[in-house]
Amino acid sequence: MSHFQILIIGGGTAGITVAAQLKRKDKSLSVGLIEPSETHYYQPAWTLVGAGTFDFEKTKRKEADYIPKGVEWIKDHATGFEPEKNTVLTKKSGNFTYDYLIVAPGLVMNYDLLPGLKEAMETDFVGSVYTDPQKFWKILQNFKGGNAVYTQPTTPIKCGGAPQKIMYLSEHFFRKKGIRKEANVIFATPGTVIFGVKEIAETLTKIIKSRGIYFKPFYAPVRIDGQKKEITFKYIAPDVDNLSSVTDPKLGESVTGDKEITIQYDLLHLAPPQEAPEFVKKSSLVYQEGPNKGWLEVDINTLQHLRFPNIFGLGDVVGLPTAKTGAAVRKQAPVVVGNILHLIKENKLASPIYEGYSSCPLVTGYGKMVLAEFKYNNVRDSDPLISKFVDTTKEQFSMWLLKKYGLPFMYWNLMLRGKA
């Protein structure tokens, strides 16, 4: 079959959740799903894998076990769009046409956007829970002391809190191992604050101060020298000309160019630069300019494409002013599903809208977690049920249990089955 009522690109969290919800609501729909991978990963647990407290094998399952019944799986790569003809191109299966298209292929890592990253990642001192959490766990165990630097790129990234989660876990690990005095734990970020939501930022600022972590805002990584074990940042704060007021000789920081600061590292963790997949980025469906350039262009509340009304998008690929997380997908999916079903039956959009909800389970140590929940404009947006019992802005053991056991269970058994 080469025509579907609804065609979905992507079999990750967003694509499978939407497919499952559509089929639960209407079994008669003809739905096709384009996804090349045979393995489905639960990536939120990779931070825990990187700290040695979760089994990597338990983060993967067979994709086939989660393709909803009655959905046709096209095991192939999407390669392009012809939206005027309601057509999607694939690598080897030919073209597919649709009445409605859901674009949810996630995002990709692009090492080339940070010079020296690719080579540095091949060394024994640089790693990322985004790409190989098992390798990072080895790096963590081999660390004897010196500068442990944690950073993130200037591009949008999935789960914006992950670079600091692994930093908190590492710092706790150094204490457990008895080498904390030998370690400088440095969190360098292009951001201006530790976290965008005020209530959460207050908690995290206290944690950083009490644990002696060096917080370096306005640090945008520009290149890495894996041989010399150096990372160079551009200092992007406005109106600061004298960089010596920012650098700390104790950390071996040095001013090495115009607004550039270089730090020696003994361990480096980073989120690689991230972007929309090439076939999306080069298509007519993305923002051509502005802060969301290169990401899918959708209405921020309805998730309907701004120029092609029979196209919707959700998940990491869309350009929205909120965090790219699985929790965001959980709130986006019902909006996309509701809108498409309403369009099919009533020829108009449904009433529920997406308000930008996302959440970031900020693991702050072994057995501790702060649950950051927010919506557009960094407004705190707590789950009414959880917040009745727990102050999620403070470190909680119960939230750690939720992260380690509750959320994976919910993901595999409820979310991917269209029940949550």
- How, if at all, do strands 31-34 and 3-9 pair? parallel
Residue 109 falls in the annotated catalytic set:
no
Q: For residue 6, what are its two tokens?
A: 């609804």
Q: How many CB atoms lie within 10 A of CB 223?
A: 16
Q: 126, 159, 314, 327: which one is catalytic?
A: 159
Question: Is 328 in a helix, a strand, or coil?
Answer: helix
Q: What is the 3-state secondary structure (H, E, C) of 166-205?
A: HHHHHHHHHHHHCCHHHEEEEEECCCCCCCCCHHHHHHHH
Contact indicator for 326, 116 with CB cutoff of 8 Å: no
Q: For residue 311, what are its two tokens?
A: 């196209």
Among 404, 407, 361, 395, which Cα is nearest to 53's? 404
Q: 360, 363, 369, 372: which one is catalytic?
A: 360
Contact indicator for 145, 173 with CB cutoff of 8 Å: no
Q: How many CB atoms lie within 10 A of CB 124?
A: 11
Contact indicator for 304, 339 with CB cutoff of 8 Å: yes
**Token pair 């206290």: residue:** 206
Tell me how many degrees the CA angle 119-123-129 measures, rounded to the nearest 5.
95
Q: Return the sign of the alpha-carbon dihedral for residues 15, 103, 300, 190.
A: positive
Contact indicator for 102, 336 with CB cutoff of 8 Å: yes
Spell out the residues 6+ positions from residue 26 whose beta carbon is closer than 8 angstroms to its own.
341
Task: Output 127-130 pairs: Cβ under 8 A, ≥24 positions apart.
Answer: 127/50, 127/268, 127/269, 128/269, 128/270, 128/271, 128/272, 129/46, 129/47, 129/49, 129/50, 129/162, 129/166, 129/269, 130/46, 130/157, 130/158, 130/162, 130/271, 130/272
**Token pair 């963590």: residue:** 140
Residue 159 falls in the annotated catalytic set:
yes
Spell out the residues 6+ positions from residue 29 whose beta carbon is closer than 8 angstroms to its own.
5, 6, 22, 23
**Cross-strand bridge partners of residue 81:** 88
Active site amino acids: 159, 360
